[in-house]
Chains A and B, each alone.
Chain A
Amino acid sequence: DTGVSQNPRHKITKRGQNVTFRCDPISEHNRLYWYRQTLGQGPEFLTYFQNEAQLEKSRLLSDRFSAERPKGSFSTLEIQRTEQGDSAMYLCASSKGRSNQPQHFGDGTRLSIL
């Protein structure tokens, strides 16, 4: 069990630029989740995949955000035309396929918009 891996750990970019984050889940986990955490708050759900299928998206996920999980392995989260309000920690988690299984989190990608 090598854990959930996220890259990069930190990303600093100018407003209006596009950014992409990567998440590698625990190998035997078929569910993968993205959350966003702002300072002083708990994580908020963005979207999740079961294998390669994106099954649910939060209303927080505006049309500037897109997530993919090709072949049901790693996932990417892209933010286009970044805004100041996108500054946050983006967390990825994975779990086995049953609803009562706990989610295991990566260390996150901290995004700072200049």
Chain B
Amino acid sequence: AQSVTQLGSHVSVSEGALVLLRCNYSSSVPPYLFWYVQYPNQGLQLLLKYTTGATLVKGINGFEAEFKKSETSFHLTKPSAHMSDAAEYFCAVSGYGNKLVFGAGTILRVKS
């Protein structure tokens, strides 16, 4: 069985500040991990993925995430927030079956 916990349903940062969105997972098999972003009334857009290999993963729009097996974490970061980053972010895990199990999401607010 797999599950995802996203700490903090809402995160607020100032423009230019560090963005940190937390994700912890549980998986009975080696996990594949993903971060998606969702803008209002739209589908989900893939930011980045971890499958195997390098544990620091770089994605689109300056985002990156680090897979830490010992902490069962896959936190998403961006050094400098931009107004256009305001959206809802979802962490997801999949195993051999490839279906995704999502966290409840974190809404990111960026203040000017």
Contact = CB atoms under 8 A, between A and B. Distances in A.
A74 interface: no
Interface stretch (A63-71, A79-87, A104-112): A104-112
A2 interface: no
Interface residues of B, number: 27
B90 A91 contact: no
B45 A105 contact: yes
B98 A99 contact: yes
Interface residues of A, number: 27
Interface string A45-58: 10010000000100
A33 B101 CA distance: 12
A7 to B, nearest CB: 13
A37 to B, nearest CB: 9
A98 B112 CA distance: 42
A91 B36 CA distance: 14
Interface string B70-112: 0000000000000000000010101111111111110000000
Given A42-B90, A42-B105, A99-B94, A104 B100 contact: no
A95 interface: yes
B98 A43 contact: no
Interface in B35-53: 36, 41-46, 49, 51-52
Which of B44, B45, B101 has the most A CB atoms < 10 Å from its CB? Answer: B44
B63 interface: no
26 contacts: A31-B98, A40-B105, A42-B4, A42-B92, A42-B103, A43-B44, A44-B102, A48-B98, A56-B97, A93-B44, A93-B100, A95-B98, A99-B94, A99-B95, A102-B46, A103-B46, A103-B98, A103-B100, A104-B46, A105-B36, A105-B43, A106-B43, A107-B41, A107-B42, A108-B43, A110-B41
